[in-house]
Amino acid sequence: MQIQSSFSPTTPPLLNNRYQIVDAIASGGFGETFLGEDTQMPSQRRCAIKRLKPKAEQARVYPIIQDRFRREAIALEKLGETSDRIPRLYAYFEEDGRFYLVQEWIEGEILTHRVLRQGSLSESEVRDILLDLLPVLDTIHGNGLIHRDIKPDNIILRHPDSKPVLIDFGAVKETMGTVLNSRGNPTPSLAIGTPGFMPSEQAAGHPFFASDIFSVGVTAIYLLTGKTPQELPLNGNTAELQWRELVPEIDPKFAAILDRAIRFHPGDRFSCAREMLDALKQLSHPIAPTERSGPLSTLIFPKRTAPRRCRKPRKDWHKAAVAGIVLGAIVGLGLTLFSKSPSKSATPEPTPPTSSLPLTFYFIADSAFHNPNQAEQKRESLKEDGYSRAGFFWSPNYSNLSQYQSYKVYGDWFETSEDCQAALAEYRQYNPNSYCGFATK
């Protein structure tokens, strides 16, 4: 669908003295997308031009957005070079107070249009799309990134091979939504994603890899049923979409994979694209049931952290530690602050003092271990390095991950998220894999 552009249709301007606007494609809360041509290429190569406008008008926030925009552009460039199913980045620049991305133009059909044109897709068609799409998402997750806006509108079936291409990353939109809070610190102004296609933790501003899995699952259900998430009923006990009655002939094993992908609790889903892809490839084998979690009592939200099987090998001591963070820190239930592990042991476990901690707090997560003595050693190491408030706590995981004990070591704790984020930049010079988490009883 075309929209009314602010450019004159008779005299299209040259952006950056190079790119000519041909047509307006779409418009949203963060900017516009145009079809353009590169006048400095012999072929007059077509390209997709995204014009983005920062939400905030504050002069102090503009340099922050500039820096974040540059970093997100670097990430897009790397991804486009890594996968042919992610549009290549040709250029990025600023002009008249706005930010521009120039990307590869993908000829093809948006998945939404395919459904509107021919109706719901067959099970085999949806399976094939997922088998082609999940390796793309695995590349994104393997680079430590989260897409955050996977939906039928952002998947193009490329001509002539009909392979799905994933477009429109949410991180760039979040950058444009940066504002300064009351303390003068940069913070996102709103959650990025599309209602219905994003899970609850992402709507709360805490996305991670399993959030993308939810979006993939809901997208697959839309393709199978032809109905948006808002048109489907919810289970009153689990808050999960009820869709199977609309596709009664579906393979129960395939349906079980989709059901797991859209679980309400992130820890009950596939942890990343690689795990869901492996399950799809093994449909001829029994699928192990996933037990739902009990009532949610504690959330620990990591930032851009991956499970062990979803992250490329690391060369330093963080390799084992970061794996422990995610196994226990994706979402921990029934947080027992600084308590003993439920496992039986003849050796007393270290239990740090708790008097200085409030009931709820934010913390800079440094590492995690399965063994409390290792966590204690790491805490002492942090204190020797000058982090006097370093500590750790134990958090139980979901019942289907009960074999993983996670002792989370933090370098410091704070009463507000703003204070934690403000201290995080300096701490990352010590540990680049650290992030701000939240804990509460």
Active-site residue numbers? 149
The total domain count for the chain is 3
Residue-range definition of the domain harbouring residue 80: 14-104
- Residue 1, in any domain of the structure: no
What Cα–Cα distance (Å) separates residue 100 from each residue in 19, 167, 187? 11, 15, 22
Are residues 50 and 172 both part of a single domain? no
Lowest-confidence segment of 51-65, 95-109, 342-356 by average pLDDT: 342-356
Q: What is the pTM of this model?
A: 0.64
Are residues 158 and 238 both part of a single domain? yes
- Residue 350 and residue 116: Cα distance in Å, rounded? 60
Residue that is last in its domain, among 76, 104, 132: 104
Please answer whether residues 30 and 169 qualify as being in contact, where contact means their C-beta atoms are separated by less than 8 angstroms. no
Are residues 415 and 322 both part of a single domain? yes
Q: What is the pLDDT of residue 339?
A: 38
pLDDT level of residue 398 (50, 70, 90 thresholds): very low
- Residue 46, in any domain of the structure: yes
Q: How many helices (H) and strands (E) does the chain have?
A: 11, 15
Q: What is the pLDDT of residue 336?
A: 37
When mean pLDDT is compared over 85-89, 182-186, 428-432, the highest value belongs to 85-89
Q: Counting Cβ atoms within 10 Å, is residue 81 exposed (0-12), middle (13-18) or buried (19+)?
A: exposed
pLDDT > 50? residue 129: yes
pLDDT > 50? residue 364: yes
pLDDT > 90? residue 153: yes
Residues linked to residue 361 through DSSP beta bridges, in sequence order: 439
Which contiguous run of DSSP H or E holds residue 369?
strand 360-369
Are residues 210 and 120 both part of a single domain? yes
- Residue 401 and residue 338: Cα distance in Å, rounded? 20
CATH number at residue 194: 1.10.510.10
Q: What is the pLDDT of residue 400?
A: 41
pLDDT level of residue 232 (50, 70, 90 thresholds): very high
- Residue 36, in any domain of the structure: yes
When mean pLDDT is compared over 185-194, 321-330, 346-355, 405-414, the highest value belongs to 405-414
Mean pLDDT of 368-386: 84
Are residues 276 and 380 both part of a single domain? no
Mean pLDDT of 155-182: 85
CATH number at residue 23: 3.30.200.20
Find, among 166, 173, 174, 225, the residue nearest to 196 by Cα: 225
Are residues 95 and 113 both part of a single domain? no
